Structure 1
Amino acid sequence: MQIDFANLKIQHKLYQEEIEGAIIKVARDCNFIMGAQIDELERKLEEFTGSKYAITCSSGTDALLLAMMALDIQPDDEIITTPFTFFATAETIAFLKAKPVFVDIDERTYNIDPKKIEEKITSKTKAIIPVSLYGQPCDMDEINEIAKKYNLKVIVDGAQSFGSTYKGISDSNLGDISCTSFFPAKPLGCYGDGGAVFTNDEKLANKIKSLRLHGQSIRYHHQYIGMGGRLDTIQAAVLNVKLKYYPKDLKLRQDVAVKYTKALNAKNIETPFVKEDRTSAWAQYSIRVKNRDELQTKLQNLGIPTAVHYPMPLHVQECFKYLNLKEGDFPISERVSKEIMSLPMNPYVTDEEVEYIVGNLVKEIQC
């Protein structure tokens, strides 16, 4: 059996006629930049999330940049975040010459531990960036309470969690600004790079819209130093089609996660922990194993692809040497990074595939 990790081909075949028709329309209309499909998508994203303002952009990375630029983050400002995340979370902080300040994670959820945030706050702290890792929102009540106490802003990095909920609230409504990614392998992915920024603050929304267009609101009149951060119209056209089916895809992802969990629990293998007051978008289904490299090779030889999200915490990355951090500073992140392994996760993993994956996984673990 050869298993596809993300199964993007199956999804395209399911919606092929609609998606290709939408792409051809953009090509024939030649409205490649800020075409009508952009506004259509933003209105649909607002309806889906309940957020007052959805602003599409060129990637999840640029969504984070736009959020921080809108909050006027300056060199030497400090932003608290997690070292156990994709590189872009801290990269964007450093790109603006601000300082990423890391806080270790909760060992069960793998999200930032709010109990460890307050001790890292200084007079230079301006914001907190919690990351909804693998699709599950963080402990947002506790984080927002800390932010309010110290007059900090909260930017939710929801690159993996679009469509998840926290206490019945969309993950796009959990901070002052929330960001997401539409990278192809994300739960809602386009056919290239793409992202979005969400806020309920009209002033911030208008500034973000200007920043993504080189800081202009009137052509050739620049109020801010901005960036070329627009979403391509073709990507918006793809997303307009896929968003229609996204609730169904989220349900199918949840069904796959339940099947994995039931099968793995029956074999006494620890499974992902999602708190009862929230839902996950299941961007990844990640378990922890010993002898990971050897196990991955054995599974690959059996036609079972796996992935590691993420093998090296950010505080030990070479580019962050200037922070003077070292191995041992964030022990939970370091321990998890050595053991975490993601299994194939997409809406189309079959019962037969789950049985094959789990059966061979257990057999190889026990060898």
Structure 2
Amino acid sequence: MTIPFLDAGAAYRELRDDIDAALRRVAASGRYLLDAELAAFEEEFAAYCANDHCVAVGSGCDALELSLRALGIGPGDEVVVPAHTFIGTWLAVSATGARPVAVDPTPDGLSLDPALVEAALTPRTRALMPVHLHGHPADLDPLLAIAARHDLAVVEDAAQAHGARYRGRRIGSGHVVAFSFYPGKNLGAMGDGGAVVTGDSGVAERLRLLRNCGSREKYRHEVRSTHSRLDEFQAAVLRAKLPRLDAWNARRARIAERYGRALGALPQLALPVTARWADPAWHLYVIRCAERDELRRRLDRAGVQTLIHYPVPPHRSPAYADDPAGAPAGTHPLSERLAAQSLSLPLGPHLGEDEARAVVAAVRATSAGLAAYPTGPAAYPTPDGQRFPLVTEKR
């Protein structure tokens, strides 16, 4: 049995009739941009997120960049970002002319460390950009408190967190929250796409200008901008999928629970943390292993596909080699450790029972003989050598 990391086509096969009907509806309409399907999806997704406005755009990176632009952030400004994240978070900041300022996560790896955020603030800091990494919500309340004290904006990167909840609140109910609809996401299009959800009507209006060449009326351009528009076909596909999102997330959670029960005692691994205040979307199930690359080779030979999220921290990427945001090895040690040790196991709403059992059996077999995780499966190492308890179930 070969087990794919994710079967992106399975969602289409489950909803074939609905998606085919939606695509035919758009094709027959002759209206392919900024029309009825987009308006309906924006209304439905805003309601799903328990917020007032949704402005859909061409990609998740565009959602982040245009959010910052809508808040007036640009050249000379600084935005605090995680050191451990997909580089797209950083690139969106750089695209505005602002500078990403990186900090390591909290010891559990889940969120921007509030103490490090405070230390990173300068007179140029204009915003914080927490990431709901792997579908687990960032701990927002301490970050929102910092933002309030220093009059900073908060733009949430929710590219992996469709349907997650923080302290009972839906991710997406915040002030400015950016989503991606890349095909592999929990709510994925059949192409690229993104959206910004906000409760601020002024921000929403600026986003609509920014996504459409600065125009409300054809050939009248009020600001210099670009075009970044979710097309009608993608909006129709997302409308067909949105009613299934919570059920698909529940399937992901059941697989994550099975992995946790079956793999938690293995000394070679550290498993994902779930904070007591979080209901993750389980976009990814990321384990850590001191001999990550060897474990991945063994799993590949056993027919289990895995991925590494993300092997090169942004501050070590060639893209930032000549940028002040780039930094030498050791600058963000916890993020560098995560990049070297993290491995994502197959996880998706269409992973079958037999496949999940096979993944568990393969991980148990292939991890045998590997080095124990440096501080064991019940602790998480930090740069200063302290040890913090890991939690694999809600506290």
Q: Conserved in 1, the CA contact under 8 Å of 2:182 and 2:192?
A: yes
Residue of structure 2 equivalent to 1:167? 167
Q: 1: CA distance between counterparts of 2:346 and 2:82?
A: 25
After superposition, what is the alpha-carbon deviation per residue over 1:228-282, rounded to whole angstroms, capped at 9, x for unaligned?
Answer: 1110100001000000111111111111111111111144542110111111111
Q: Conserved in 2, the CA contact under 8 Å of 1:109 and 1:272?
A: no
Q: 1: CA distance between counterparts of 2:153 and 2:164?
A: 21
Q: 1: CA distance between counterparts of 2:298 and 2:327?
A: 35
Aligned-partner residue type, residue 61 of structure 1: C
> 1:132: Cα distance to partner?
0.6
Which structure 2 segments of 5+ residues have no match?
Answer: 370-395
Aligned partner of residue 179 in structure 1, secondary structure: strand
Residue of structure 1 equivalent to 2:244? 245
From 343, 358, 363, give the equivalent of 2:360: 358
Q: Return 324-333 or 154-163, whichever deviates more.
A: 324-333
Aligned partner of residue 173 in structure 1, secondary structure: coil
Q: 2: CA distance between counterparts of 1:352 and 1:149?
A: 51
> 1:27: Cα distance to partner?
1.1
Q: 1: CA distance between counterparts of 2:350 and 2:310?
A: 24
Q: Conserved in 2, the CA contact under 8 Å of 1:109 and 1:274?
A: no
State the number of aligned residues: 366
Aligned-partner residue type, residue 295 of structure 1: L
After superposition, what is the alpha-carbon deviation per residue over 1:88-119, rounded to whole angstroms, capped at 9, x for unaligned?
Answer: 10011112221110010123233221221001
Q: Return 124-133 or 345-354, whichever deviates more.
A: 345-354
Q: 2: CA distance between counterparts of 1:291 and 1:339?
A: 7
- Structure 1 stretches of at least 4 aligned residues deviating more than 3 Å after TM superposition: 266-269
Q: 1: CA distance between counterparts of 2:51 and 2:6?
A: 28
Q: 1: CA distance between counterparts of 2:147 and 2:337?
A: 28
Residue of structure 2 equivalent to 1:330? 332
Q: 2: CA distance between counterparts of 1:110 and 1:116?
A: 14
Aligned-partner residue type, residue 366 of structure 1: A
Matched, 1:5 2:5: yes
Aligned-partner residue type, residue 184 of structure 2: A
Alignment of 1:83-94 (within 5 A): 83-94=83-94
Aligned partner of residue 270 in structure 2, secondary structure: coil
Aligned-partner residue type, residue 208 of structure 2: K
> 1:30: Cα distance to partner?
1.6
Aligned partner of residue 172 in structure 2, secondary structure: helix
Residue of structure 1 equivalent to 2:392? none
Residue of structure 1 equivalent to 2:190? 191
Q: Conserved in 2, the CA contact under 8 Å of 1:114 and 1:139?
A: no
Residue of structure 1 equivalent to 2:28? 28
After superposition, what is the alpha-carbon deviation per residue over 1:48-94, rounded to whole angstroms, capped at 9, x for unaligned?
Answer: 11111011111101001110110111212000001211111001111
Aligned-partner residue type, residue 160 of structure 1: Q
Q: 2: CA distance between counterparts of 1:47 and 1:97?
A: 33
> 1:352: Cα distance to partner?
2.2
> 1:358: Cα distance to partner?
1.7
Q: 2: CA distance between counterparts of 1:364 and 1:87?
A: 30
Aligned partner of residue 117 in structure 1, secondary structure: helix
Aligned partner of residue 275 in structure 1, secondary structure: coil
Matched, 1:229 2:231: no
Aligned-partner residue type, residue 86 of structure 2: F
Residue identity over aligned pairs, in percent, reads: 32
> 1:195: Cα distance to partner?
0.6
Q: Conserved in 2, the CA contact under 8 Å of 1:264 and 1:270?
A: no
Residue of structure 2 equivalent to 1:210? 209
Aligned partner of residue 237 in structure 1, secondary structure: helix
Q: 1: CA distance between counterparts of 2:143 and 2:15?
A: 39
* TM-aligned CA distance change 1:350 to 1:242, over 3 Å: same
Q: Conserved in 1, the CA contact under 8 Å of 2:110 and 2:136?
A: no
Aligned partner of residue 126 in structure 2, secondary structure: strand
Q: 2: CA distance between counterparts of 1:363 and 1:254?
A: 23
Q: 1: CA distance between counterparts of 2:45 and 2:164?
A: 14
Alignment of 1:1-367 (within 5 A): 1-174=1-174, 176-268=175-267, 269-321=269-321, 322-323=323-324, 325-367=327-369
After superposition, what is the alpha-carbon deviation per residue over 1:183-211, rounded to whole angstroms, capped at 9, x for unaligned?
Answer: 00001001000111011011111111111
Q: Conserved in 2, the CA contact under 8 Å of 1:58 and 1:230?
A: yes
Q: 2: CA distance between counterparts of 1:196 and 1:337?
A: 28
Q: 2: CA distance between counterparts of 1:201 and 1:51?
A: 9
> 1:289: Cα distance to partner?
1.0
Aligned-partner residue type, residue 171 of structure 1: I
Q: Return 272-281 or 4-13, whichever deviates more.
A: 4-13
Aligned-partner residue type, residue 355 of structure 1: R
Q: Conserved in 1, the CA contact under 8 Å of 2:270 and 2:289?
A: no
Query: What is the TM-score of this pair, normalised by structure 2?
Result: 0.90
Q: Conserved in 1, the CA contact under 8 Å of 2:110 and 2:138?
A: no
Q: Conserved in 1, the CA contact under 8 Å of 2:79 and 2:93?
A: yes
| CA RMSD of superposed structures (Å) | 1.2
Q: 2: CA distance between counterparts of 1:263 and 1:74?
A: 48
Aligned-partner residue type, residue 210 of structure 2: L
Q: Conserved in 1, the CA contact under 8 Å of 2:82 and 2:102?
A: yes
